[in-house]
């Protein structure tokens, strides 16, 4: 027989002369004149043993639950209440075109090169200005830019949690946050939420008993329920964090989107000691594809987390940072938010009215004062999983409640986003969705 070294040497020679090539799935084959001997050289045709290749840790990354739903939602003829995206039409596209034109005409290369991991200092200063308006008096070095606030969850999980550590989250909560904590082996414990936000009255018992390392909360216009944590609970939550020395992540993706009156004080605005890590984003007010969010935290936290971010992606997009900086400095953002709120308030009202007109009698839903979502409790006997299929037949999609819960509950809830679709499609989509519910009830 031919030994392995002979084959390898022959292979190397053939390769050097350009006579062998690989095609995915076919393994290695000899090209042209040597076609007949290809079987002999076909020794790399086995796929890697993936099961042995992925880390143990990779098992924690289950397939992304909503992938199929979102693929469906991206079809043109489908009305989607499933996304968490800003309305593209209401976005500040014209202002952006001006900004990009200026970039090119001034031949300013800075936004096209590397930038500091924490973000451009000038942008960090501009964001500290935004934070001042929110009642948080921080300086630029307490701010770090992020590639979306999702990155803040990932960095925090890696830098604060060890496998087995406990994180408390509202139940239900934003599931990519739950996934970020679970992915590093932390245990996630849910605490119920009602119309006044997290049940802080149940928290102390849990803190005493389990000594969690972290509390994750979305106090303002919560995803998925749309609720706000009332002021008394905010104050109590800070007191408990101090007492039990547990850090809080305040996820404030939606705080600017308040449709009536004013938002309540941020947890970060009440925190004098550095227990709150504040996250926010330009995804919900500007464009999510810029992938730009930020963190406001104690300087020590920023320093530590910047080291982690550097390993992840070096820095967030310089171009996105530059665009946002110009947008803030020109007053564009400040002018944009009231317009956005007006648009989204109309959409929220349209969805609420359409539900009032069309819903089956046992459907329950709320009227959120801000944010992106209406949260519905389905009539008894109607499951979200079954409703997905029925609604998809009528070309409307939404997100079922299940992924937002820590362990399998939630099939009697659905989350409806009202910001993404146009007004007329919101009314039309709710009619279709309610028709699908009624069909299920009648079955």
Q: Total number of residues binding ligand PMP (CB under 6 A)?
A: 13
Does 223 engage in binding with ligand PMP (CB under 6 A)? yes
Choice between 149 and 427, CB closer to ligand PMP: 149
Does 81 engage in binding with ligand PMP (CB under 6 A)? no
Choice between 216 and 275, CB closer to ligand PMP: 216
Does 148 engage in binding with ligand PMP (CB under 6 A)? yes
Choice between 27 and 91, CB closer to ligand PMP: 91
Of positions 115, 117, 128, 149, contacts ligand PMP by CB under 6 A: 149
Choice between 118 and 251, CB closer to ligand PMP: 251
Of positions 170, 250, 251, 325, contacts ligand PMP by CB under 6 A: 251
Task: Compute the least distance from the CB of residue 168 to ligand PMP, in Å.
Answer: 16
Task: Compute the least distance from the CB of residue 421 to ligand PMP, in Å.
Answer: 16
Task: Compute the least distance from the CB of residue 322 to ligand PMP, in Å.
Answer: 18
Of positions 246, 253, 351, 440, contacts ligand PMP by CB under 6 A: 253
Choice between 11 and 174, CB closer to ligand PMP: 174
Task: Compute the least distance from the CB of residue 93 to ligand PMP, in Å.
Answer: 18
Choice between 150 and 321, CB closer to ligand PMP: 150
Choice between 213 and 222, CB closer to ligand PMP: 222
433: tokens are 């969705």
Q: Of 269, 278, 290, whose CA–CA distance to 333 is shortest?
A: 290
Task: Compute the least distance from the CB of residue 223 to ligand PMP, in Å.
Answer: 4
Beta bridge partners of 194: 197
Does 288 engage in binding with ligand PMP (CB under 6 A)? yes
Positions in the binding site for ligand PMP (CB under 6 A):
84, 148-150, 174, 218, 223, 251, 253, 281, 283, 288, 293
């Amino acid at each position: 027989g031919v030994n392995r070294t002979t084959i390898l040497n022959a292979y190397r020679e053939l390769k050097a002369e350009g006579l062998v090539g690989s095609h995915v799935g076919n393994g290695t084959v000899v090209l042209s004149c040597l076609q007949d001997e290809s079987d002999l050289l076909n020794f790399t045709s086995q796929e890697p043993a993936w099961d042995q290749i992925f880390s143990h840790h990779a098992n924690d990354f289950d397939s992304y639950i909503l992938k199929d739903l979102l693929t469906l939602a991206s079809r043109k003829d489908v009305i989607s209440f499933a996304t968490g995206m800003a309305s593209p039409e209401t976005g500040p596209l014209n202002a952006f075109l001006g900004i990009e034109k200026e970039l090119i005409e001034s031949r300013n290369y800075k936004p096209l090169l590397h930038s500091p991991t924490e973000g451009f200092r000038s942008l960090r200063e501009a964001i500290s200005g935004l934070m001042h308006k929110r009642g948080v008096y921080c300086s630029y070095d307490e701010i770090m830019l992020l590639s979306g606030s999702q990155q803040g969850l990932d960095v925090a999980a890696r830098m604060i949690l060890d496998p087995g550590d406990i994180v408390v989250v509202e139940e239900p909560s934003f599931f990519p946050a739950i996934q970020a904590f679970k992915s590093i082996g932390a245990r996630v414990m849910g605490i119920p939420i009602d119309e006044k936000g997290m049940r802080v009255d149940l928290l102390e018992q849990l803190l005493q008993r389990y000594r969690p390392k972290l509390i994750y909360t979305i106090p303002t216009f919560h995803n998925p329920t749309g609720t706000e944590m009332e002021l008394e609970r905010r104050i109590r939550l800070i007191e408990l964090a101090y007492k039990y020395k547990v850090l809080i992540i305040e996820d404030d993706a939606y705080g600017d989107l308040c449709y009536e009156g004013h938002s309540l004080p941020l947890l970060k605005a009440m925190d004098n000691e550095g227990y709150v890590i504040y996250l926010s984003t330009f995804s919900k007010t500007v464009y999510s594809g810029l992938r730009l969010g930020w963190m406001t935290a104690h300087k020590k936290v920023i320093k530590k987390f910047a080291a982690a971010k550097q390993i992840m992606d070096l820095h967030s997009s310089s171009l996105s940072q530059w665009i946002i900086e110009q947008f803030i400095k020109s007053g564009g953002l400040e002018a944009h938010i009231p317009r956005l709120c007006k648009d989204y308030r109309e959409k929220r009202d349209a969805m609420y009215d359409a539900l009032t007109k069309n819903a089956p009698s046992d459907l329950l839903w709320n009227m959120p004062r801000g944010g992106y979502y209406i949260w519905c409790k389905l009539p008894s006997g109607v499951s979200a999983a079954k409703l997905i299929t029925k609604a998809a037949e009528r070309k409307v999609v939404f997100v079922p409640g299940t992924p937002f819960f820590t362990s399998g509950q939630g099939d009697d809830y659905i989350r409806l986003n009202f910001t993404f679709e146009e007004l007329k499609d919101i009314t039309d989509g709710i009619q279709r969705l309610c028709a699908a519910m009624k069909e299920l009830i009648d079955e």
